[in-house]
Amino acid sequence: MAENYYQEELLICGGKQLVGEIELSASKNAALPLLAAVLLTDSPLAIENLPELRDVHSMCEVLRHYGVAISPAGSTFTFAADKLLCSCPPAPLMRSFRAGSLLLGPLLARCGYAELPLPGGCAIGRRPLDLHFSALQALGAQIEVAEESIVARADGLSGAQIRLGYPSVGATENVLLAAVLARGETVLENAAREPEVVFLAECLRAMGAEIEGAGESRIRICGVERLDGGTFRLPPDRIEAGTWACAAAACGGELLLRDYAAAENAELWRILQQMGAEVRQQPRGLTIAARRRLQAAEVTTGPYPAFPTDLQAPLMAAAATAVGLSRIRETVFENRYHHAAQLQRLGAVIGVEEELAVVVGMPLKGAVLQAQDLRGAAALLIGALAAQGESRLGGLMHLRRGYEQPEQKLVRLGADIRRILPIKDENNYRNRQILML
Ligand code: EPZ
């Protein structure tokens, strides 16, 4: 993983159609809870297609702090958590991503103790953990939150009736990761229904857990004595699929998402079709074609199966090129429009008032852009690809948290993208080197 992504930029010469096929990487948001589940068993657990992403690296680093041995073999990684350490990972590492909070459940279930610095993640809202804490307390945990860290204790977890105040994905996953080893039955009401929750439950069941109803709002878990390991293959990343679909819709052309089925993200495909893109399930995967300028859209994000909040920014970039006025309502996070100001640098006409963003589509022109969060970075990449002329995109450390080799995948579709790397020459001047991809 190039550590110089803090200065790295992309040089994008936009205005080209995207034509060709992409093989999606494995899902970041399915990988992270499965990595947390590694802590639940003293048997080896292997993941065959772990994606090369910053957040995955960070989670593996955190697991090592708790004593997990990680053995890579090609793209398969085997995790051994037979000897856990009572440790506390470094705060800077935990602050670099959000999913560290998912370790609370398994550590409480396996060791009865968890100490971890407060997690970080994209600056898209306050992102409290109150729903995680109250659910784990219902299972019998005592939780103290100090200035910068969380200390949780439990003298054995016991099943409980839990109702989430909001169908939080992370809180649902934390309850699953704790209740599978709790004494007795847990019923979780108002659970998140995201595909990543279903995948986690499938893996836990394969490890010996007793779980019913994952994917619905009511999940029932019967605790068991212990869990086995196993070998798992992650699903393709549905948010990456939606991101490239928005790129193809914004730039025009035809994209095949190889071996991908449209079952997930149904709301996105509906919206893109409404905007004039053609979405077709083919034998080799899902094709998205845009043969004319998009029409405007009306979109409201929400918990699954509503339109995914993680695709709000990529869709806004597509709407910025469309004919007419689009309305986007972000109802999941309270501060997830950072990309709007940067899209305006490309000439986009966007007004934001609390949860509502109004976008009037315009022909976009290249500009210098700086990403501030993961999905906002993807939106700026899409905007730059659709804009006429040259753009430079900085803040790539955000993009690399959730997209594996994005520029290489897009270059294979005909995009003109080069990496600009800082080099220190003999006089220590900070020159820049432009790399063809
Ligand atoms: C997961 O985050 C995803 N991350 C997010 O993807 C995604 O945007 C989000 O779910 C919603 O789908 C991973 O899976 C690693 P939430 P999570 O708990 O679990 C509030 C990406 O780009 N809330 O469902 O953190 C919260 O503030 C990332 O890949 C509480 O109030 O999301 C938010 O407003 C970004 N208290 C809403 O619920 C809590 O205790 C949804 O959050 C927990 C959450």
Mutate to test the pocket of ligand 1, among 97, 145, 166 (most ligand atoms within 8 A of CB): 166
Q: How far is the CA of 292 from the centre of ligand 1 (A)?
A: 35
CA-nearest residue for atom 25, ligand 1, is: 170
Ligand 1 atom nearest 127 alpha carbon: 27
Q: In the prediction, which pLDDT does 216 show? A: 98
CA-nearest residue for atom 18, ligand 1, is: 168
Q: Where are the domains of the chain?
A: 2-25+236-436, 28-232
In sequence order, which residues have a C-beta less than 8 Å from that of residue 402 and are 6 or more positions away?
28, 53, 54, 55, 239, 240, 374, 375, 378
Q: In the prediction, which pLDDT does 424 show? A: 64
Active site residue 203: no
Is 55 within 8 Å of 95 (Cβ atoms)? no
Provide the β-strand partners of residue 3: none
Q: Are strands 356-360 and 389-394 parallel, antiparallel or unpaired?
A: unpaired
Mutate to test the pocket of ligand 1, among 29, 102, 265 (most ligand atoms within 8 A of CB): 29
Q: In the prediction, which pLDDT does 431 show? A: 64
Is 214 within 8 Å of 202 (Cβ atoms)? yes
Please tell me the chain's helix, strand, coil percentages from 3-state DSSP, rounded to the nearest 5.
Answer: 35, 30, 35
| CATH code for the domain defined by 2-25+236-436 | 3.65.10.10
Tens-digit pLDDT string for the chain (437 aa): 444 545 789 999 999 999 999 999 999 999 999 999 999 999 999 999 999 999 999 999 999 999 999 999 988 999 999 999 888 888 888 888 889 999 999 999 999 999 999 888 767 777 899 999 999 999 999 999 988 899 999 999 999 999 999 999 999 999 999 999 999 999 999 999 999 999 999 999 999 999 999 999 999 999 999 999 999 999 999 999 999 999 999 999 999 999 998 888 999 999 999 999 999 999 999 999 999 999 999 999 999 999 999 999 999 999 999 999 999 999 999 999 999 999 999 999 999 999 999 999 999 999 999 999 999 999 999 999 999 999 999 999 999 999 999 999 999 999 999 998 877 655 555 566 777 67
- b/e string for 84-95 if b means 16 or more Cβ within 10 A? beeebbeeebbb
Mutate to test the pocket of ligand 1, among 150, 163, 168, 199 (most ligand atoms within 8 A of CB): 168
Report whether CATH 3.65.10.10 matches the domain 28-232.
Answer: yes
Q: How far is the CA of 18 from the centre of ligand 1 (A)?
A: 31
Strand arrangement of the beta sheet that strand 416-424 belongs to: 368-370, 389-394, 9-14, 416-424, 430-435
CA-nearest residue for atom 13, ligand 1, is: 29
Residue spans of alpha helices (H) in 188-327 = 195-206, 238-251, 266-274, 312-319
Ligand 1 atom nearest 126 alpha carbon: 27
Q: In the prediction, which pLDDT does 432 show? A: 67
* Residues framing ligand 1 (Cβ under 6 A): 29, 32, 98-99, 122, 125-132, 166, 168-171, 192, 196, 309-310, 332-333, 374-375, 402
CA-nearest residue for atom 41, ligand 1, is: 168
Tokens read off for 35: 């990595």
Q: In the prediction, which pLDDT does 194 show? A: 98
Ligand 1 atom nearest 29 alpha carbon: 14
Q: How many CB atoms lie within 10 A of CB 126?
A: 8
Same CATH fold assignment for domains 2-25+236-436 and 28-232: yes
Task: Single out the catalytic residue among 86, 88, 122, 246.
Answer: 122
Is 40 within 8 Å of 104 (Cβ atoms)? no
Ligand 1 atom nearest 401 alpha carbon: 29
Q: How far is the CA of 329 from the centre of ligand 1 (A)?
A: 17
